[in-house]
Amino acid sequence: MKSAAPHIFTLTGNLLAERTLEFAAWSPGKTQRATRETFQVGGKGINVSKMLDRLAVANTALCFTGGAPGAECETWMRAHRISLHAFPTSRPTRAGTVVRGGEFPETTFLGPDVAPSAAAIRACVDFLDAQPDAQLLAICGSMPGWTGADFDPLRAALERWLQRGTLVADTYGPPLAWLADHPLALVKLNATEIRTLVHDHTPLAELLAAASARWPARRWVVTDGPGDVWFRDETGPPARLSPPPIREISPTGSGDVLHASLLKSLFHENLPLRDAVARALPLAAANAAHPGIAEFSLTGL
């Protein structure tokens, strides 16, 4: 009998209260007046959950929210019908500003990273431990404070999760280094992140082969901006596919859109990795060709 598809949980460790200011024209060193302002919640796991919603995949976004920015983020997510479980933290959620328009490329300004409090991490651990077996957890984005003692309970919880569920990662820095030593079902990262992990600047095919040989993850997918996407599973050598050409508007979140599509194809539809990457590439390209994240039309894709 075919097993049920896993419920997907995305964990965002570094939520972002983000405002986008749009300008007809702007230049450094002067007072600027925007023509339009919008608010959105950033963070890789939130982006993945938004796209999973678009793909009709049941999921829950897990995140840490603090202070007035965190409350605004939670209100926005609930208004946008994102299924979430927020763990209150004593530290205000970080803020950021996107500047778009005029002759300059889109530019993002991020506030300092904010590590969740020990109590918030403990609440997250209790939530994860309470979930039924055979579910999927995606660790998404940065995890400020990862190497500190406050994160010891979460690291232990992830060890337990691996014994009864599926764990995937799209992260970098210390969390990636720790997670890479574990039998993940999927590692999705970009070219910069894999070079940081492997500490090498050889071509991506060689890096991917080296990573696959050294670490126990079953599948690897490596993006490189608008370039080819490299991938490898347990059955063959590194391979690559090219995304469709587009006129780029905003690349922000395109990797997260690709990640969401991979999760659906691999873990809900049991597609081979090549087929999953091929299906995800048009979605990621469509995201880059539109403003916003996971807000493009799915017609024809």
Q: 15-34: per-residue pLDDT in tens?
A: 999 999 999 988 888 898 99
Rounded mean pLDDT, 257-285 = 97
Which whole number is the average pLDDT over 41-69? 96
Average of per-residue pLDDT across 238-253 = 92
Q: What confidence category does residue 10 fall into, taking pLDDT thresholds of 50, 70 and 90?
A: very high
1 pLDDT band, cuts 50/70/90, is very low
Q: What percent of the chain has pLDDT over 70?
A: 99
Mean pLDDT of 173-177: 95
Q: Which range, of 20-34, 43-57, 63-77, averages the lowest pLDDT? A: 20-34
What would the two tokens of residue 20 be?
Answer: 């986008």
Q: Over the chain, what is the mean pLDDT?
A: 94
Strand 36-42 versus strand 59-65 pairing type: unpaired
Quote the pLDDT of residue 58.
96
**Lowest-pLDDT range, 58-62, 205-209, 227-231?**
205-209
Domains of the chain, earliest start first: 42-68+116-288 (3.40.1190.20)
Question: Residue 2 has what pLDDT?
Answer: 57
Average pLDDT for residues 270-278, to the nearest whole number?
97
Strand pairing of 94-100 and 107-110?
A: antiparallel
CA distance 203 to 195: 10
Residues 42 and 16: beta-carbon distance below 8 Å = yes
Strand order in the sheet with 84-88: 84-88, 59-65, 8-12, 136-140, 166-170, 186-190, 220-223, 229-232, 239-241
* Mean pLDDT score, 45-64: 97
User: Which pLDDT score is estimated for 100?
Assistant: 86
Two tokens, residue 220: 């690897």
Given this model, what pLDDT does residue 28 score?
Answer: 83
